[in-house]
């Protein structure tokens, strides 16, 4: 006998909104999680996601691969089309997807500028070390460049469960 416990130890129809930012790219099999989120949302409840997507299913561009190696991250590449399919399979409707590339590229450029400034660089190196400082700058720059070269797609996804 196989017992299938819920992924999330939360009651059905509990929440009006669920929000995720930058987390789901680390989840390999998103469909069970999307189904669980749908289960926990009230009728008409909204799921709002800010996530990293790839133009190629299952593959990141070289910049994101390098950044993930520097940061020791495991990232799972989904296309926008696949993401939408998974949400539909999980029971979500009214799926809206907005391009956040410009905002997120600027955000990463701002981080690189701040980390490169004398004040921030000194504080960062004192708290961590010089290698971590260089790696942080390189990682954020790789992200900004990957966005500009369309290797990384930053998307805001809004959907809901039926009323």
> Which pLDDT tens digit goes with each residue over 144-159?
999 999 999 999 999 9
What confidence category does residue 2 fall into, taking pLDDT thresholds of 50, 70 and 90? very low
112's CB contacts (< 8 A; 6+ apart) are 137, 140, 141, 144
Is residue 138 predicted with pLDDT exceeding 90?
A: yes
Of 6-15, 31-40, 63-72, 98-107, the one with minimum mean pLDDT is 6-15
Is residue 4 predicted with pLDDT exceeding 70?
A: no
Of 3-7, 29-33, 85-89, 100-104, the one with minimum mean pLDDT is 3-7
CATH number at 80 reads: 3.40.50.150
Number of domains in the chain: 1
Structural domain for 106, as ranges: 15-160
Helix, strand, coil shares of the chain, percent, nearest 5, are 50, 25, 30
């Amino acid at each position: 006998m196989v017992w299938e416990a819920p992924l999330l130890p939360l009651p059905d129809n509990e929440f009006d909104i669920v929000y995720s930012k930058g987390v789901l790219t680390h989840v390999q099999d998103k469909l069970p999680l999307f189904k669980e989120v749908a289960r926990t949302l009230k009728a008409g409840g909204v799921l709002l996601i800010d996530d990293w997507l790839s133009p190629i299913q299952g593959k990141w561009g070289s910049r994101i691969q390098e950044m993930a190696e520097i940061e020791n991250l495991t990232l799972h590449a989904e296309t926008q089309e696949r993401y939408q399919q998974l949400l539909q399979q999980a029971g979500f409707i009214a799926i809206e997807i907005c391009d956040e590339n410009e905002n997120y590229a600027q955000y990463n450029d701002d981080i690189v500028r701040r980390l490169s400034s004398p004040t921030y660089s000194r504080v960062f190196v004192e708290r961590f070390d010089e290698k971590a400082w260089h790696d942080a700058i390189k990682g954020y720059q790789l992200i900004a460049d990957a966005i500009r070269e369309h290797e990384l797609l930053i998307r805001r996804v809004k959907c809901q469960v039926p009323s």
